[in-house]
Structures are given as C-alpha cells and as structure tokens.
Chains A and B, each alone.
Chain A
Amino acid sequence: MMEPRRIDDQIRDYYRGHRLSDDARARMKAALRTGAVETNGSRWWWTRVAIAAVLLISVTAIALWFAVLRGPAPASPQELASIVVQTAAVGHNEQQELEFRVSRTAELREAMKSLDFTPVEPEVMAKMNMRVVGARYTTIEGVMAAQILYVGPNGEPCTLYELRQVQRLARIPSGEHDVDGLRVSVWREKGLLMVLARPVA
C-alpha cells in the first residue's frame, strides 16, 4: 500500500514522466543544428532557413508516408471501441459549448455544412422522447463527427455522436458499455456510426 502523497507532488511527477520521443527529439535537434550551421551569413539567411524548413517537412512527410504505409500494429476492434466509447463519455461529461442551437434535426442538416455526411435522427431518439437541442463539430479517433445534444422528457442530457464509417472504424462492434457512470451505445444506422452517451437510468 503506497503512502498518501501531496497532490502537487503527484501532478509534478505525472508531467515530468512525459518526455519527447527519441525520434522526435532527434528530428528537432537535427533541424536546429541545420538552421544554426546553414544560417551563417545574413544574405542567404532566409533562403537557407526556407531550404532547411522544406527539408524538414520533406523528411517528416516521407516518415509519415512510411508510417501510414507500414504503420503500427492496428488496434483490435475492442481497443478501438474502448477508445471511441471513452471519448464519447468524456465529451458528454465536458458539455462543451454548442455551436448550433436547433429544435429539429432538419435544421442541423442546414447548419452543419462542413460535415462530409448528412446528420440524421436515429429512430431510437423518437422512441425515447428525446428532443434535439443543438450540436457542435468534433472528432472521434481523428474522424470528423457531429456531437449532437438531446434532452429527455425529464431534462436529462444525452450526447449522440454521428460519424462516417471510415474503414478503420468499420471493425468496431456494436454494443453497450458502462463507463464513468454513463451507458454508451454503439450501433450503425443509415450508413453512419452512431455513439450515444447517456446517464445510466
């Protein structure tokens, strides 16, 4: 059993435990060195800094390209589901400010023009007597999503996430999860991935 410790000490240790990865460190130091050596002389300073920047971007782009092609081992469907569910729960609890206030889903279709899909109202919302209140843009696992706030007959808030089914998320199994005092449901409807976070009844 660990002894209790001052919370400030634990916060300090928490952040000090985070360090830049060796790869990133080497890349940045190389860029700084390049900048220092190649900028010796003012006449060509901007040109050389620009060259260094282009080189750095190129190396990063090539590294990213390889990373995408070869990539790390893909997360299992369960791991992906866990990440998505956790993100949905945190988003529900944070209750960030809405970008659009609406009273009907049709208004969302008009308002959320930047989405690469059309937001729809899942059948279950009407069955649960849920009323749409507003929405905001968000992302889940790097995929753009609509975060839509609904309110139930007793004023209880539910947060629905709708996102396009990209290949990476297609493996997530449908199901229900209990996390942080919330019930998070995952299912597919009308070609979209739906994630609903609501208080456990």
Chain B
Amino acid sequence: MSDPALRLVADSRELSNDIDEILDAGFRYAFSLSHDGAEAEDLVQDACLAMLTSGAAWDRRYFFATIRNRFIDRFRRSRKVLFLTLDDSDSDSGADLTWEAPDVLESGLLDRALSRLRIEEREALFLAVVEGYTAEEIGRNTDRPRGTILSILHRAKKKLREFLGGDGGVR
C-alpha cells in the first residue's frame, strides 16, 4: 500500500477505535510541554492537520514528534527560550526519588510544582512516568543522550521533592 491516500484511508479505519486514546495521549504530551490547556489543544490540532496533509501513517510516536516540532516552532516564533542545555553532572542514581507524599493532586499543589519545572524536565517526567518510556527511548525521541535524560529526570524529581516536601510534609 504505497499510495499515501490509500494508506491514510486504511490507517483511519484502523485508527477509529484508538483515535480517542491517541488524541488524549497527544493532548497530555502537549500539556506536559506547554502546561497550558488551550495551548495544548492548539498544538494537537496543528499536529493533526500536519499529519493529515502529509499523509503520514498514524503512529503514536510520530504524532508525539509532530506535536513536539509544532511546539518548538511556536516558541521560535515568539523568541522565547526553549530547551536549555544541561550537563550530566547532576545525576545521582543513589538518591531515593520514588517517595510517598500526601495527596498533592487534589490540593492543586502538584499542578503548581509541575509548572515550576523546566519544559524539558516536565517532558521527560511525563514520557517516563505516564508513557512508560525508558531513558534510552526518551533520548532517541528528543535527540539527547541517555545520560542527559537521566540527569533531567533526576533534577525534575529533586525539584518536585523540594517543592512538595520529600518526607511527607508539604511546604
């Protein structure tokens, strides 16, 4: 099936059952980048349109990559600082970063804590914790070495722990 039009038709049929799930996953990924519901919705819509016009096969990772590219384009246009270069020196695999915390979800504290993370930290955290990607996979999808991803994840968890209180107390 080399004809892009036929492939799109077939993909759309196969997709019909999963479309809600893929759109939601894409929205969550976009939200992890922008931390803004309206902007995330725009990103997903842009990405859908881009995939539709390119006739690309509907693949979750490709969809994520399209969303990421759209996000980067928007930031470049608005001349904001996007992803910063981080070194790998902060990685400390010995630290316990799977702590238990009081319910910081309902109180909105987790939302505030996540909003304080850098974009690349939120993105890596989302891909690792929610999507279940390995550091290797995240590195492949974001063009970063595995060590850098581990470092970013470590910093993200460390910042969350500092903000939320690592020993169960919430500040």
Contacts and interface: CB of A to CB of B under 8 A. Distances in A.
Interface string A12-26: 111111111100110
Size range of the interface on B? 35 or more
A166 interface: no
A93 B116 CA distance: 8
Given A11-B129, A137-B80, A45 B23 contact: no
Interface string A133-153: 000111100000000000000
A129 interface: no
A11 B44 contact: no
A31 B98 CA distance: 41
A49 interface: yes
Given A4-B102, A13-B105, A53-B52, A20 B27 contact: yes
A47 to B, nearest CB: 11
Give the secondary structure class of A's interface.
helix
23 contacts: A4-B100, A7-B98, A7-B100, A7-B160, A13-B105, A18-B28, A19-B27, A20-B44, A24-B45, A27-B45, A28-B45, A31-B48, A31-B52, A32-B48, A35-B8, A36-B13, A41-B5, A42-B3, A42-B4, A49-B55, A50-B53, A53-B53, A114-B79
A102 to B, nearest CB: 17
Given A4-B102, A7-B161, A19-B24, 10 more contacts: A5-B100, A7-B101, A14-B110, A15-B31, A35-B52, A36-B9, A40-B6, A45-B5, A94-B118, A114-B79
B72 interface: no
A7 B99 CA distance: 6
Contacts of A114: 79
A90 B115 contact: yes
**Most A CB within 10 A of own CB, among B78, B100, B125, B160:** B100
B20 to A, nearest CB: 7
Given A4-B102, A21-B41, A36 B8 contact: yes
A52 interface: yes
Interface of B: 3-6, 8-9, 12-13, 15, 19-20, 23-24, 27-28, 31-32, 37, 40-41, 44-45, 48-49, 52-53, 55, 78-81, 84, 98-106, 110-111, 114-116, 118, 125-126, 129-130, 157, 160-161, 164, 168
A55 B103 CA distance: 45
A6 B52 contact: no
Nearest to B15: A32
A97 interface: yes
Contacts of B111: 14
Top 5 A-B pairs, shortest CB-CB distance: A36-B12, A2-B103, A4-B100, A39-B5, A45-B5
Nearest to B84: A97
A137 B80 CA distance: 7
Contacts of B116: 90, 93-94
A194 B27 CA distance: 34
Contact of A32 (B52, B99, B102): B52
Interface string A45-64: 10001101100100010000
Contact of A28 (B48, B103, B157): B48
Nearest to A8: B129
Contact of B23 (A5, A20, A33, A42): A20
A17 to B, nearest CB: 8
